[in-house]
């Protein structure tokens, strides 16, 4: 009975993951407007997209009065093609909304080095509610250099990273450290790993109920979930489940069924963020309502247009007549005109001009400049390849490399 009541102390500025239904860390789909949309529809917490330690180290923290955001920026990489005489803007590596995300944003870090993890975490720890280590993403852009799911094969290194963050970040910033993993080939292997992880001082563990080789189209495996939840409970660590969770109501049923403390929603939230709203509170909203709210947040935060357009291809059903009209749009102004958002057109023109996009022509930038917004790391689906051709450039700015010959079937925006 005593072990069932054990609970790792939650730091003063940290959050308790128990009872929470949260937004998963997703490449490209986890940028600021998407997180604000999830919070708008009732997400209890939001994870930002994985950000590599080396891409954060050396950034400058600035308050952006235009968008009301805090930006971590750096000079473009030397490989960026910048014409002579062109104005150079810093690249935005990470962006948060200090008011709307206060106490609800978890920064997920991609790392394979304890010292670098601490250096990167220290830059953002004062502005977020927790630091999460990505030890579950199986994609090459995450596993290169031993990060992501590759850490599951090096448990000593993973534990060293968590222990370093607990020892250095928790006392100074009073937030919790957590980790996101995948299940291993056998329950015995998973249990051995989880027991080591919960002994490092973390406050939360998220388990994606798939093995590393599995892809989103394959059904999640939940046979190990109750065991993992029990191990976490014995150590007083909150356990969150991830994988094929479709809505808040479904999440609540699953937490009861498997004895976990919370649930993480990924793919369904990417399609319609109102999945975080319980049926009793209105349930799933029409995609038209969700899209307009997303556009509002995109304009409010002056989100990079390429990322906004990509997200519209996720939020607008492929069979909707307006879906095919998205690809030709080259500006916020044109998007609002096409969707009939007359009340947003004036603001759309202001944002286009701020982003150096001519709202009245085909959308070419008035001046060729370096990218000003870093997308979350990730490849492109066949559906999105024509929508945003700048993904690889944005990946390099974020300190992430992906093979140029990656097959299309493997280049999918998925949760980390």
For the residues of 67-94, what is the DSSP string, one character each? TTEEEEEEPPPTTS---TT---PPEEEE
> Using CA atoms, how far apart are residues 187 and 184, in angstroms rounded to an integer?
7
Q: How confident is the model at residue 321 (pLDDT cuts 50, 70, 90)?
A: very high
The pLDDT score that the predictor gives to residue 345 is 97
Q: Does 375 have pLDDT greater than 60?
A: no
Per-residue CA distances from 135 to 108, 218, 407 (Å): 10, 20, 23
> What's the mean per-residue pLDDT of the chain?
87
At 285, give phi and psi (nearest 5°): -85, 155
pTM across the whole model: 0.85
| SS3 state at 264 | strand
Mean pLDDT across the stretch 72-94?
77
Distance CA 393, CA 154 (A): 30
**Catalytic positions:** 137
The topology (CATH level 3) of 2-281 is TIM Barrel (3.20.20)
Answer yes or no: is pLDDT of 276 > 60.
Answer: yes
How is the chain split into domains, by residue range?
2-281, 287-410
Over residues 290-318, the pLDDT tens digits come to 999 999 999 999 999 999 999 999 999 99
Identify whether the C-beta of residue 135 lies closer than 8 Å to the C-beta of residue 151.
yes
Closest by alpha carbon to 306, among 378, 402, 360?
A: 378
> Which DSSP letter does residue 404 get?
T
pLDDT for 88 equals: 74
């Amino acid at each position: 009975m005593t072990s069932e009541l054990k609970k790792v102390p939650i730091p003063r500025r940290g959050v308790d993951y128990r009872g929470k239904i949260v937004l998963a860390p997703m490449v490209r789909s986890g940028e600021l407007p998407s997180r604000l949309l999830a919070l708008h529809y009732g997400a209890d917490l939001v994870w930002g997209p994985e950000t590599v330690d080396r891409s954060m180290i050396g950034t400058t923290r600035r308050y952006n009065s235009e968008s009301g955001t805090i930006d971590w920026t750096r000079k473009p990489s030397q490989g960026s093609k910048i014409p002579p005489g062109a104005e150079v803007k810093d690249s935005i590596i990470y962006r948060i909304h200090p008011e709307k995300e206060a106490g609800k944003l978890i920064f997920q870090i991609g790392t394979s080095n304890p010292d670098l993890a601490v250096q990167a975490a220290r830059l953002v720890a004062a502005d977020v509610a927790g630091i999460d280590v990505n030890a579950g993403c199986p994609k090459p852009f995450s596993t290169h250099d031993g990060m992501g799911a590759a850490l599951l094969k090096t448990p000593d290194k993973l534990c060293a990273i968590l222990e370093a963050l607990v020892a250095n970040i928790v006392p100074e910033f009073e937030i919790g450290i957590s980790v996101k993993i995948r299940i291993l080939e056998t329950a015995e292997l998973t249990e051995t790993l989880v027991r080591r992880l919960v002994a490092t001082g973390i406050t939360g563990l998220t388990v994606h109920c798939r093995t590393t080789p599995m892809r989103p189209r394959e059904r999640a495996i939940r046979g190990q979930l109750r065991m993992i939840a029990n191990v976490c409970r014995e150590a007083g660590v909150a356990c969150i489940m991830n994988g094929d969770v479709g809505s808040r109501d479904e999440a609540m049923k699953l937490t009861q069924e498997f004895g976990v403390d919370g649930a993480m929603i990924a793919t369904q939230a990417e399609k319609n963020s109102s999945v975080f709203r319980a049926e009793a509170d209105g349930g799933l909203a029409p995609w038209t309502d969700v899209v307009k709210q997303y556009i509002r947040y995109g304009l409010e935060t002056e989100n990079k247009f390429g990322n906004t357009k990509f997200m519209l291809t996720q939020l607008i059903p492929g069979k909707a007549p307006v879906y095919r009209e998205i690809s030709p749009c080259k500006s916020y102004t044109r998007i609002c005109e096409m969707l009939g958002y007359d009340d947003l057109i004036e603001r759309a023109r202001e944002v286009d001009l701020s982003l150096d996009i001519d709202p009245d022509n085909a959308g070419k930038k008035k001046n060729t400049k370096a990218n000003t917004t870093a997308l979350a790391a990730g490849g492109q689906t066949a559906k999105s390849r024509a929508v945003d051709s700048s993904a690889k450039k944005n990946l390099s700015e974020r300190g992430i490399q992906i093979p140029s010959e990656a097959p299309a079937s493997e280049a999918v925006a998925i949760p980390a």
